[in-house]
Structure 1
Amino acid sequence: MEASPPSQPQPPSYKEEVLAALSKLKTASMLLIIATLIASISSLSLLSIVFTFNIAAIVAAGLGTLAAALVGLILIIVAVYAFLLPSAKQFTRWRPTEFSTPSKLLRIGYIWGVAILVIALLIMIIGAATMNLLIVFSGIGIAIIGGILFLIGYIGNIVYFFKLKDAFNSTIFLVAAILLIIGIFIGITQFIAWILAFVETRAIESKITSGAIQI
């Protein structure tokens, strides 16, 4: 009896991995959109009340804006650290060559950069409290370093979108990446970029699930 040829090993399937990464990116995009809307609406509300010259209303609106800013900040922190960074890291398991660089840049900026900025802020507060200019200027110097690292993280986000454009042949992610570049100078385009990212991640998820895109 002729022996059957040995079965060829099947390449690993990364479908679930990619879908999970897309889901995280979609959630990050949604939270960043909501945070921006909360900040914008509360700021506009405050501006509309300021010109009424009603002190009680202005104070109440100011407290409301402060609370909204706190909520927005919490949403941004959750979006970046619970979803955006993990999504990029998860994509590296699928295509490490393409996604390892943006993942590293994101972590440099949004972990180390932010940590240094927080330390710099604390140093400047101590310097101001003790009226020590040397400590204040030291804090400013450290803040500049943190700001540079944070910019590296932002650039990592741009590279991330470019890599997603290549991976999924997505014109939408290309536009989102370009809008993030413009967003360095015109902030509102960042908001539009995250809307596009949310819409496109949903579309790609559907295509992968239906088999239109093979992973």
Structure 2
Amino acid sequence: MEQDHLVAGLRDLRSASKLLLVASILGILVSVAILSAVPALLSIPLTAQTSIRGLASRIIAWLPLLIIGALLGLASGVISLYAIYAKLLPSSKHLAKWRPSVFDTPRKLLYIGYWGALAAGVSAFIAAVALAAGALPGLMQAAQAESLIMLVALLMVPFILVVLAGILGFVGDVGMIMLFYELGGALQSERFKHVALLTVAYILGGVLVGLIPNPAAMLPGLVVVAGLQAVAFYLAMEECTRILSSTPQQPPAGV
């Protein structure tokens, strides 16, 4: 039944929003950890006598915080991947079955964008590892111009794949924005439209922050972007819960 697809879609979307909220909070903690450590590392005077020794001592002093930040970042990434591929994409599939004319385009953008980004990202990683383990050592030893040209050409392969992954990821983001906005219209929910606008804000904010050349100045922006992301997914989670509580649901089989 169509109503069953709506309920299933909202349940998956609520789960995705909850997981992405957790990932966003972890992202804030990672940003704070880096924000605490990087300025101290960058403050070391770069003199021949003190730069290496001072950098080593600072790294050792901040190593526990850096390790915690790395682990939190890894956890945030894993949770985000699970939320997107195991919850958000199935949610769009259910909603497309509920209202095909409204949600089929967001579903296609989500699937093409995020699956394509994952494939391109994995391919870039494999290409980089293969390049580092295979062709790179031999080419580095050769000084001929042809070898240098070949090296540059090979280095372009993972770079192009990373750029492609970014473009496809942006396509997936557009699909998510459309999903929330169209859901707001279909369910007469202004909050879902607010989530769509917040999603636009944190995506554009992330792009702008990435253009900042100074790492110390970039980090506060990352905290703000992660905060906007957390607010967006919290609102989405709450709105899914509210609508599900007021939507008639078919009892499980056998009840």
Q: CA deviation at 1:141?
A: 2.0
Gapped runs of 5+ residues in structure 2?
Answer: 42-56, 141-150, 207-224, 250-255
In the alignment, the residues of structure 2 paired with residue 121 and residue 136 of structure 1 have an alpha-carbon distance, to the nearest angstrom, of: 12
TM-superposed CA distance for 1:46, in Å, is 4.4
Q: Contact 1:126–1:135 at 8 Å: present in 2 too?
A: no
Structure-2 separation of matches of 1:197 and 1:34: 13
Which ranges of 4 or more aligned residues in structure 1 deviate by more than 6 Å?
none
Give the count of matched residue pairs.
Answer: 198
- 1:135-154 paired onto structure 2 within 5 Å: 135-154=154-173
Higher RCO, 1 vs 2 (CA within 8 Å, ≥6 residues apart): 2
1:13-66 deviation line (CA, Å, top 9, x unaligned): 433321121111011001111111112113313433564975444111111111
Counterparts of residues 181-200 of structure 1 (less than 5 Å)? 181-187=200-206, 188=225, 189-200=228-239
Q: TM (normalized to structure 2)?
A: 0.71
Identity %: 32
1:114 maps to which residue? 118
In the alignment, structure 1 residue 208 sits paired with structure 2 residue 247: yes
Q: Deviations over 1:113-168 (max 9, x none)?
A: 22112212332344355152211112222322222221111101111111101110
Q: CA contact under 8 A between 1:35 and 1:75: conserved in structure 2? A: yes
Aligned to 1:85: 89
Distance 1:133 1:49 in 2: 34
The question of 1:15 aligning with 2:34 is answered no
Note if 1:175 corresponds to 2:188: no
Q: Give the deviation of 1:186 after TM superposition.
A: 1.5
1:44 to 2:48 alignment: no
**C-alpha separation between the residues in 2 aligned to 1:145 and 1:68?**
26
Unaligned runs of 5+ in 1: 1-12, 211-215
Contact conserved, 1:106 with 1:154, CA < 8 A, in 2? yes
Q: What SS does structure 1 have at the residue aligned with 2:247?
A: helix
Name the CA distance, whole Å, in 2 between partners of 1:54 and 1:134.
38
**Counterpart among 98, 101, 113 of residue 97 in structure 1:** 101
Tell me whether 141-150 or 97-106 shows the greater mean CA deviation. 141-150
